[in-house]
Structure 1
Amino acid sequence: MTSTSTPSLLPGTSRTLAASVRGLSKTYGDGDTAVHALRSVDLDLAPGRFTAVMGPSGSGKSTLMHCMAGLDRPTEGSVTIAGVDLTTLDDDRLTHFRRDHLGFVFQAFNLLPMLTARQNILLPFELTGRRMEDGTAERIEQVIDVLGLRDRLDHRPGELSGGQQQRVAIARALAADADVVFADEPTGNLDSTASAEVLAFLRRSVAEFGHTVVMVTHEMDAAAYADDVVVLADGGIREHLVAPSRARVAQALEGGAR
């Protein structure tokens, strides 16, 4: 593939964005001990794409995802998803927004051990008492088939392999048809075979269901599944690459010239 670098700020765009951040900064501590995890980041993400966020340890990639996902409050700036500025919401409204509009896939799976795979997948609906809209049940069944979980639905997490548990976590994140699905190092606890399976399923969720996936990773093999790669360094965006080659991503991570 050819590599194209695009500006992370797209002024005047008429395209509906899956997520947009402006002037996003996050500082921990005060004075001489302050740590500037993010420094006035601007970023636009288009819908229906798989974006990998990469960078060295301490670059701010996990902080960026946590702020975009409403799991952490930025010090300055805005995060807009589904037309809503998350920084304007109080804690209760932010919790409800995350529940209704965002999906999460974490490295530790975060499945409830006493529930079956199916019960874990449907947990967001059970917790909120939400009724499934027309077509939702059919779509969830399709997700289950795409993820190859049909014969594991009655098994509890302890009876599943690591890759199967992560697929259940992905199905749960996709079940509610979230505007954006965030994945934080989703293959960090998996072997190479299970990692490839999970990444392929995230790829299929974008291609077949039109989901928007934002994945934090430090693995080049994982980033190869993405449409776009955002490279961070020192709390800022070094480059935003569209359909880059592996060599181009490596070059960006090293800070090399184009």
Structure 2
Amino acid sequence: MTTTPDLAGTTRTDVAASARGLTKTYGHDDNVVHALRGVDLDVPAGRFTAIMGPSGSGKSTLMHCLAGLDAATSGSISVAGRDLAGMDDTALTLFRREHIGFVFQAFNLLPMLTAGQNILLPLELSGRPVDRERYDSVVAVLGLADRLGHLPSQLSGGQQQRVAIARALVTQPAIVFADEPTGNLDSEASAEVLGHLRRSVRELGMTVVMVTHELDAAAYADDVVVIHDGAISAHLTEPTHDELVVALRRTVATS
């Protein structure tokens, strides 16, 4: 597990990513948009966290800042015990390559490569050796053993997304960010992919942060962060479906 300073300045070993006083604004003067408004958040290590909220709530902006894809206007962010604000563009690119995995709506698989080749591509690009035990474990957890020789065009949407997840996991990142990973899938394939994401946390010890606006998707997570108008309105642990509904209703009622 990683270590991250907490609010009192002591060291915690159960936090994969942390934000303090995080703000993000776009535009200037009368056209300014406050996407994030002083967000404080700890992402627990070794758990599946969902960030949910309506369109325009700031959930994707929060993920992009935590993942180092977008610079915050103010506040601090640490991932795997490292302060992202202290890195220049080159250092940040290298850090993301080594410590952060990404899964997006668009599977972004190379069509001329097999599933197995797509999974190993990040390791080849970075010149890192293949940990065959890790590769086999990821493939097994995601149920891809009999699909490794298939091209993306020969796979269903759910299978392609599982290949994309395996590609993110095989490098053993400190944290994996998934941005609406089931947005292009039907309900059956979505349930399949979400189940495999949860298995990757349970069986591989991964930390997964998923952005979603779907209640059914968030129900697969261990922790759910509800964001509205750039601020966190609820942070639930092991929520039931009914608790999620209540939290969302309260968010709407106070908006």
Query: How high is the TM-score relative to the length of structure 2?
Result: 0.93
**One-letter amino acid of the counterpart of residue 206, structure 2:** H
Structure 2 SS opposite 1:118 = helix
What is aligned with 1:217? 212
Counterpart-to-counterpart distance in 2, 1:190 and 1:178: 25
What is aligned with 2:60? 62
Counterpart-to-counterpart distance in 2, 1:221 and 1:155: 30
C-alpha displacement of 1:10: 6.2
C-alpha displacement of 1:244: 1.0
Counterpart-to-counterpart distance in 2, 1:241 and 1:146: 27
Runs of 4 or more above 2 Å deviation = 9-15
Structure 2 SS opposite 1:120 = helix
Structure 2 SS opposite 1:20 = strand
Counterpart-to-counterpart distance in 1, 2:232 and 2:175: 20
**One-letter amino acid of the counterpart of residue 78, structure 1:** S
> Per-residue displacement from partner, 1:98-144 (whole Å, max 9, x unpaired)?
00000111010111111111111001111111124xxx311211111
> Per-residue displacement from partner, 1:188-223 (whole Å, max 9, x unpaired)?
100111111100000001111110000001111111
Between 247-256 and 195-204, report the one with greater CA deviation: 247-256
Counterpart-to-counterpart distance in 2, 1:187 and 1:114: 23
**One-letter amino acid of the counterpart of residue 83, structure 1:** G
What is aligned with 1:3? none
> Per-residue displacement from partner, 1:69-111 (whole Å, max 9, x unpaired)?
1111111111101111112111111110000000111010111
Counterpart-to-counterpart distance in 1, 2:231 and 2:146: 44
Q: Aligned ranges for residues 1-258 of structure 1 at < 5 Å?
A: 11-12=7-8, 14-16=11-13, 17-132=15-130, 136-255=131-250
Unmatched 5+ stretches in structure 2 = none
Structure 1 SS opposite 2:56 = coil
Structure 2 SS opposite 1:187 = coil
**One-letter amino acid of the counterpart of residue 174, structure 1:** L
Identity of aligned residues (%): 67
> Per-residue displacement from partner, 1:131-183 (whole Å, max 9, x unpaired)?
24xxx311211111121111111111111110000000000011011100000
**One-letter amino acid of the counterpart of residue 168, structure 1:** V
Counterpart-to-counterpart distance in 1, 2:110 and 2:73: 33
Query: How high is the TM-score relative to the length of structure 1?
Result: 0.92
Structure 2 SS opposite 1:65 = helix
- Count the aligned residue pairs: 246
What is aligned with 1:4? none
Unmatched 5+ stretches in structure 1 = 1-8
**One-letter amino acid of the counterpart of residue 157, structure 1:** P
Counterpart-to-counterpart distance in 1, 2:132 and 2:98: 16
Contact kept, 8 Å, 2:157 with 2:189, in 1: the verdict is yes
